[in-house]
Amino acid sequence: MDLTPKSMKYRHSFHAGNFADVHKHVTLVALLDALLRKDAGFLYVDTHAGRGSYALDPAQAEWRDGIGKVLGATPRSPELVRWLALGCPKPATYLGSPMLAAAVLRELDRAALYESDPVECAALRESLAARARTHVACSDGYQAIKALLPPPQRRGLIFIDPPYEEPADFERVGEALTNGLQRFATGVFCVWAPIKHLDDLERWVTRLARRITRPLLLSQLWRAPRDARASLAGSALLIVNPPWRIEDRMRAWLPELQRILADNSGAGSAVSLIAPPAV
């Protein structure tokens, strides 16, 4: 089985603000807010951070079917309203995961942001140069999981959002989750994956669930039938150790987001909790 979306050569700047970005970033802010409800600090790790801030180029069409549709709607769910206020701080600008985190983290929290592309990394480092307790590294984010976990705070969110340009990316994600949970069993891990075909996604998630003895929450948002192998049909997020109330709240705001973004009868969304296997 080859899960790699070969036609989807991922570039942060090209895809910024598309429907998958909206799905992952609304969820990310909701997860960060859940950790912020406690007074104790925590560590945020972003393994594939990108440059963090993107100009919405009128010549690029993808954002029009993502953030463009949300801007043209009137979201009601608190999670959508909250993210929208953070994600577009000024016209024609879209914030990615590291800048969203920087906007909400407190002085007692710490961020470690990794980006392997030197140009993107330099731009991110410049944007966050004045922010204390934020480390930007131009290196492999998977290595950060081994180097930084467990954090001294014993609380943390690890966001794994690889480009899936290589067949090995899916296996590397599995290894990263396994290694991370061995070091930090109570940490919150959030992984993004493309949906090309539902059967492939379900087999991948099933294999991961056999290796992970922690609760898993799977969130899916698709704009085309999930057997559309020729393009990106949908977006999936796998959350390990989902914080309290995340599942309930996601069941409220994800259908609303689906309605805003949908443009055909094949669109849909789903939230499912996968219990750890019996021991």
Q: Domain with 198 in it: what CATH number?
A: 3.40.50.150
pLDDT tens digits, one per residue of 232-267: 889 999 999 999 999 999 999 999 999 999 877 788
pLDDT confidence of residue 7: 38
CA 9, CA 169: separation in Å to the nearest integer? 13
Helix axes 97-104 and 78-87, enclosed angle (nearest 10) = 100
Measured CA to CA, the distance from residue 87 to residue 185 in angstroms comes to 30
pLDDT at 257: 97
pLDDT-derived band at 278 (thresholds 50, 70, 90) equals low
Give CA–CA dist 205/237, Å, rounded. 10
CA-nearest of 278, 40, 50 to 155 is 40
User: Looking at the domain assignment, is residue 61 inside a domain?
Assistant: yes
Q: Each residue of 192-228: pLDDT tens digit?
A: 999 988 888 999 999 999 999 899 999 999 988 887 6
- Percent share of the chain, pLDDT over 70: 92
Residue 7's CB is within 10 A of a number of other CB atoms, namely 10
Q: Which of 21, 46, 109, 161 is catalytic?
A: 161
pLDDT bracket for residue 13 (50, 70, 90): low
Residue 3 lies in a domain: no
The domain tally of the chain equals 1
Task: Identify whether 7 is part of a domain.
Answer: no
Give the mean pLDDT of 70-93. Answer: 94
pLDDT, tens digit (0-9, with 9 covering 90-100), for 139-172: 999 989 999 999 999 999 999 999 888 878 899 9
Residue 102 belongs to a domain: yes
- 4 located within any domain: no
Does the pLDDT at position 14 exceed 80?
Answer: no
Q: Is residue 2 part of a domain?
A: no
Q: What is the pLDDT of residue 6?
A: 38
**Higher per-residue pLDDT: 24 or 166:** 24
Domain span at 227: 12-274
- What per-residue confidence (pLDDT) applies to 141? 92
CA distances from 204 to 142, 189, 211 (A): 19, 16, 11
pLDDT for 73 equals 94
DSSP lists the bridge partners of residue 45 as 112, 158
pLDDT given for residue 194 in this prediction: 93
Q: pLDDT of 46-77, one tens digit each?
A: 999 999 999 998 877 789 999 999 999 999 99
Whether 135 has a pLDDT exceeding 60, the answer reads yes
Residue 36 within any structural domain of the chain: yes
pTM of the predicted protein model:
0.93
Q: What Cα–Cα distance (Å) separates residue 233 from each residue in 12, 66, 89, 140, 259?
A: 18, 13, 29, 28, 16
Q: What does each C-alpha distance from 70 to 64, 84, 112, 115, 192 come to in angstroms?
A: 9, 8, 29, 28, 20
Q: Would you call 109 a catalytic residue per the annotation?
A: no
Using the structure block, give the residue that is written with the tokens 């997020």: 237
Cα→Cα distances 278→88, 178, 209, 272, Å: 44, 18, 11, 18
pLDDT confidence of residue 277: 64
Phi and psi torsions of 245, nearest 5°: 75, -5
Q: Would you call 241 helix, strand, or coil by DSSP?
A: coil
Q: Which two tokens stand for residue 231?
A: 């393009």
Separation between Cα atoms, residue 244 and residue 16, nearest integer Å: 29
The rounded distance, in Å, linking the Cα atoms of 4 and 173 is: 13
Per-residue pLDDT, averaged over 104-110, amounts to: 96
N-terminal to C-terminal alpha carbon distance within the chain: 29
133 occurs within a structural domain: yes
